[in-house]
Chain A
Amino acid sequence: MRAPAIVLLLAPLALLGQQAAKNSCLDCHSALDGAAQRPSLLSKTDVHTVNGLGCADCHGGDRTSDDPSVAMNPAKGFIGKPARTAIPKLCARCHSDPDFMRKFRPQQRVDQYELYQTSIHGKRLASGDYTVATCIDCHSVHDIRQVKDALAPVHPLRLPETCGRCHADSQKMAKYGIPTNQLADYRTSVHWNALKIRGDLSAPNCASCHGNHGAKPPQVESVAAVCGSCHVPFGQLYQKSVHEPIFSAASGGGGCIVCHSNHAIHQPSTAMLEGPNAVCSRCHDPGTPGANAAAQMATWIDGLDSSLKQSEAVLTSAEKYGMEVSDAQARIGDGRENLVKARLALHSMQLSEVKKPVDAGMAIANETLRAGQAALREKDFRRWGLAVSVLLIGIAIFAIWLLIRRIEIKGGHWRDAGAPVPK
């Protein structure tokens, strides 16, 4: 990444340049009040300012002149406050120009405007709806920060909130007829939990599935591919399963979200297979082969989970007694892997595929349970052994005590009185 280094090296020069090359916009506007002053205050932290760009690079005009009529002269290119519908094109003037962007960051993408035009936002803007999101609604304006800057509105942790500014506002969404529960749902999801609480920045936010500049809800045919881009084996199994064509033909979105929801994605469990909140029973009536298969899978998986937990409990109890059971405890890890594989396998919707890891896992659970029970038996053996030796020691002590009593009854253990005694 040489560009930032070069910029860093050049920055002092740029400062010199700035001091030498005037920015009359800032000079005047920082002396004003209210809305006219705001941009000059915000722009100090703007990524463009840091890279040596100034107000005139977007708004046009002449930054060298203190005379407002010259500085803000349309003949010098001054455009004032651009219309919202003109904003994306304005940004794209630089951001879609690879030769220009190469001066600052050669790796940066230059297709944002192109993607934006394919998005719902872009299309609506083009038809004159200026209330939809433009560049500055997500990226802010005058204090634009890089995506990786924790204060940027498009930082992974803040992006959902930014999207939610419109998409969770029922008044704004009323005219489009779009629901506004996505943000609230997403906040209950495992993905948000991973982002916010575990701090895993690789977890998906709105843009990960919907795209950012080309934002569009994934269509039915894309859902499994989108989820499957991270959850690869699940996607692969699902694509080959009987559900794929059925879900694809259904209305209201298909693929993974039929069972797992799109935004309110919660930690899955066997409660999804069987029970009052099961998703399978939404389509499979009780007694049908599908329902039976789901119930069987739930039984197997729950059985494996509880068997592993039982083994773990026995091993922990043996460990508390001081027995060395670390090998068996490590083996439980293998058993847990089989549990994970079983949960994966059920996405093939085939009992035979689920049975394999379940059987392997149960074998491990039994093996470790036996190891734990053997350790507990060994503990008992040790305590019995201790009891026996303490008993024998007690007998020996008792016998010696009797012996002492016997030999001392006659008093022969006292030294002759008057014999020389050491000091």
Chain B
Amino acid sequence: MKAASWLGERLDLSAVRELIEHKTVPVHSATRWYYFGGITLFLFGIQVMTGILLMLYYRPTVAEAFESVRFIMTRVEFGWLIRSIHSWSANLLIFVAFVHMFSVVFTHAYRRPRELTWLSGIALLGLMLFFGFSGYLLPWNKISYFATKVGTDVAANAPFIGPAIARFLRGGEDVGAPTLTRFFAFHVMILPLCAAALIAVHVLMIQKQGMSTPPWLSASSVRQMRFFPNFFLRELMVWYCALAALGALAAIFPWELGEKADPFASAPAGIRPEWYFLAQFYTLKLIPSHVLIFEGEILGILGFGLLAAAWAALPFWGVDRLGAARTRLVTGAGIVMVSYLAVFTVLGYIK
């Protein structure tokens, strides 16, 4: 390719050439799970592109946010499509990110030397959740206003630093105009920059270290498929499917506008956060208001914090002294975690 050789004379493309020629993917019963990292990245790319397009028309002020989203949905050509894809893809992205994480857990790909990949991945998952939380407020409708109120109230209950965190998030004492400005800044600049850096780390490490083989297989004897063009073509098919699914969701179930937020109105009945926060939300509801001398909510948040820290530290307690994966322990923990999240999310919905 003429362009490639022109660039090759000026830049050292040897690493890229290495990758294209030699990157392989192990082929075994769990190979299908290798797709999920790519799908997550693809959906993130969709979010960036549709997000940039939406920014051409969105206005992040209390007076105009709702109307600008309405304008996008009703007046801008294909605005309904871009916005609905952005909202649906956000949900799909978080779901697929969880699937990707759990597939890493169950194939034990977190073990040495991939600890940093795991840590950057957990950080990215946290970022995606914060992306979701901040983006949810931007349309400034009743549900998003109250979901943000509930969410920041929960954050305020963290021990010691809680109220400071809540004030920082809200830009004041209550959810209002400063909150919207702040969340917009998080959503379109601060979080994307952090995510870009972490994605770069995460993906570079994968290229450097290659794909992990599950511990129940011998790395040297398992078949390897060339990444380029074979696995890549398959990934392309999967990405196309994801795109078709997004288009269908956007066309058949367009994302609703809701009603403009009214801070003076009372919260609509049955207000609850988006599905990806439901498990924690429901758990907090179950905890009694006082446990011994401690306030239930504070204990709950502390518990979540500790759980998150323990989960992030998985590469360290999930392997034995020799660096081999404690497969039974980790698989068990993974099953417990998935079950907890799935069951409590469903409970949060139906209760």
Direct contact of A and B (CB under 8 A): yes
- A interface residues, Cβ below 8 angstroms from B: 322-324, 326-327, 382-383, 385-386, 389-390, 393-394, 396-397, 400-401, 403-404, 407-408, 413-415, 421-423
**Cβ–Cβ contact B226 & A421, under 8 A:** no
**Cβ–Cβ contact B230 & A407, under 8 A:** yes
Contacts of B345 in A (CB 8 A): none
Contacts of A421 in B (CB 8 A): 24, 210, 219-220, 222, 224
**Cβ–Cβ contact A415 & B256, under 8 A:** no
Contacts of B247 in A (CB 8 A): 386, 389-390, 393
Please tell me which one of the listed residues A393, A400, A422 contacts residue B244 in the complex, with CB atoms under 8 A apart.
A393
Contacts of B253 in A (CB 8 A): 322
Contacts of B252 in A (CB 8 A): 322, 383, 386
Given contacts A324-B74, A385-B251, 11 further A-B contacts (CB under 8 A): A324-B73, A324-B80, A382-B80, A390-B248, A400-B240, A401-B237, A403-B233, A407-B230, A421-B24, A423-B209, A423-B219
The answer to whether B328 has its CB under 8 Å from any CB of chain A is no
Please tell me which one of the listed residues B113, B222, B240 contacts residue A397 in the complex, with CB atoms under 8 A apart.
B240
Chain B residue with Cβ nearest A323 = B254
With the chains together, A403 CA to B237 CA distance in Å? 11
**Cβ–Cβ contact B251 & A423, under 8 A:** no
With the chains together, A261 CA to B51 CA distance in Å? 65
**Cβ–Cβ contact A423 & B213, under 8 A:** yes
Contacts of B219 in A (CB 8 A): 421-423
With the chains together, A389 CA to B247 CA distance in Å? 8
CB distance from B238 to the nearest CB of A (A): 9
**Cβ–Cβ contact B251 & A382, under 8 A:** yes
With the chains together, A382 CA to B81 CA distance in Å? 9
Please tell me which one of the listed residues B73, B74, B211, B248 contacts residue A422 in the complex, with CB atoms under 8 A apart.
B211
CB distance from B323 to the nearest CB of A (A): 10
CB distance from B165 to the nearest CB of A (A): 36
The answer to whether B70 has its CB under 8 Å from any CB of chain A is yes
- B interface residues, Cβ below 8 angstroms from A: 24, 70, 73-74, 80-81, 113, 209-213, 219-220, 222-226, 229-230, 233-234, 236-237, 240-241, 243-244, 247-248, 251-254, 256-257
CB distance from A59 to the nearest CB of B (A): 54
**Cβ–Cβ contact B240 & A414, under 8 A:** no
10 A-B pairs closest in CB distance: A422-B210, A322-B254, A415-B224, A386-B251, A413-B230, A324-B74, A393-B244, A382-B251, A413-B226, A415-B24
CB distance from A62 to the nearest CB of B (A): 60
> With A322-B254, A414-B224 in contact, is A390–B233 under 8 Å at CB?
no
Most chain A beta-carbon contacts within 10 A, residue among B113, B244, B257: B244
CB distance from B27 to the nearest CB of A (A): 9
**Cβ–Cβ contact B230 & A400, under 8 A:** no
**Cβ–Cβ contact B240 & A383, under 8 A:** no
**Cβ–Cβ contact B236 & A415, under 8 A:** no
Grouping DSSP codes into helix (H, G, I), strand (E, B) and loop, the A interface class, with mixed when no group exceeds half, is helix
Chain A residue with Cβ nearest B222 = A421
For chains A and B in complex, what number of residue pairs have CB atoms within 8 angstroms?
78
Contacts of A401 in B (CB 8 A): 237
Contacts of B236 in A (CB 8 A): 400
Chain A residue with Cβ nearest B248 = A386
**Cβ–Cβ contact A322 & B256, under 8 A:** yes
CB distance from A104 to the nearest CB of B (A): 40
Chain B residue with Cβ nearest A324 = B74
**Cβ–Cβ contact A393 & B224, under 8 A:** no
**Cβ–Cβ contact A422 & B237, under 8 A:** no
Chain B residue with Cβ nearest A396 = B240
CB distance from A393 to the nearest CB of B (A): 5
Listed by A's residue number, 27 A-B pairs whose Cβ atoms lie within 8 Å are: A322-B252, A322-B253, A322-B256, A326-B257, A382-B80, A382-B251, A385-B251, A393-B244, A394-B244, A397-B241, A400-B233, A400-B236, A400-B240, A404-B233, A404-B234, A407-B229, A413-B230, A414-B226, A415-B223, A415-B225, A415-B226, A421-B220, A422-B209, A422-B210, A422-B211, A422-B219, A423-B213
CB distance from A17 to the nearest CB of B (A): 48
With the chains together, A149 CA to B240 CA distance in Å? 72
Chain A residue with Cβ nearest B226 = A413
CB distance from A199 to the nearest CB of B (A): 20
CB distance from A80 to the nearest CB of B (A): 59
Contacts of B220 in A (CB 8 A): 421
Chain B residue with Cβ nearest A408 = B230
Please tell me which one of the listed residues A326, A327, A394, A404 contacts residue B230 in the complex, with CB atoms under 8 A apart.
A404
Contacts of B24 in A (CB 8 A): 415, 421
Contacts of B210 in A (CB 8 A): 421-423
Contacts of B113 in A (CB 8 A): 423
With the chains together, A386 CA to B85 CA distance in Å? 13
Contacts of A403 in B (CB 8 A): 233
With the chains together, A386 CA to B254 CA distance in Å? 12
CB distance from A307 to the nearest CB of B (A): 24
**Cβ–Cβ contact B243 & A393, under 8 A:** yes
CB distance from A382 to the nearest CB of B (A): 5
With the chains together, A396 CA to B24 CA distance in Å? 24
Contacts of A404 in B (CB 8 A): 230, 233-234
CB distance from A190 to the nearest CB of B (A): 31
**Cβ–Cβ contact B251 & A383, under 8 A:** yes
CB distance from B319 to the nearest CB of A (A): 13
**Cβ–Cβ contact A413 & B212, under 8 A:** no
Chain A residue with Cβ nearest B24 = A415
With the chains together, A33 CA to B142 CA distance in Å? 64
CB distance from A406 to the nearest CB of B (A): 11
CB distance from A335 to the nearest CB of B (A): 20
With the chains together, A422 CA to B70 CA distance in Å? 52
CB distance from B330 to the nearest CB of A (A): 18
Contacts of B244 in A (CB 8 A): 389-390, 393-394
Chain B residue with Cβ nearest A383 = B251
> With A324-B70, A390-B244, A407-B230 in contact, is A413–B225 under 8 Å at CB?
yes
Chain A residue with Cβ nearest B231 = A413
With the chains together, A327 CA to B254 CA distance in Å? 18
Contacts of A385 in B (CB 8 A): 251
Contacts of A408 in B (CB 8 A): 230
CB distance from A198 to the nearest CB of B (A): 22
With the chains together, A32 CA to B48 CA distance in Å? 90
Contacts of B243 in A (CB 8 A): 393
With the chains together, A178 CA to B214 CA distance in Å? 99
Chain A residue with Cβ nearest B70 = A324
Chain B residue with Cβ nearest A403 = B233
Most chain A beta-carbon contacts within 10 A, residue among B74, B113, B219, B223: B74
CB distance from B254 to the nearest CB of A (A): 4
With the chains together, A391 CA to B234 CA distance in Å? 18
Contacts of A422 in B (CB 8 A): 209-211, 219
CB distance from B40 to the nearest CB of A (A): 20
CB distance from B112 to the nearest CB of A (A): 9
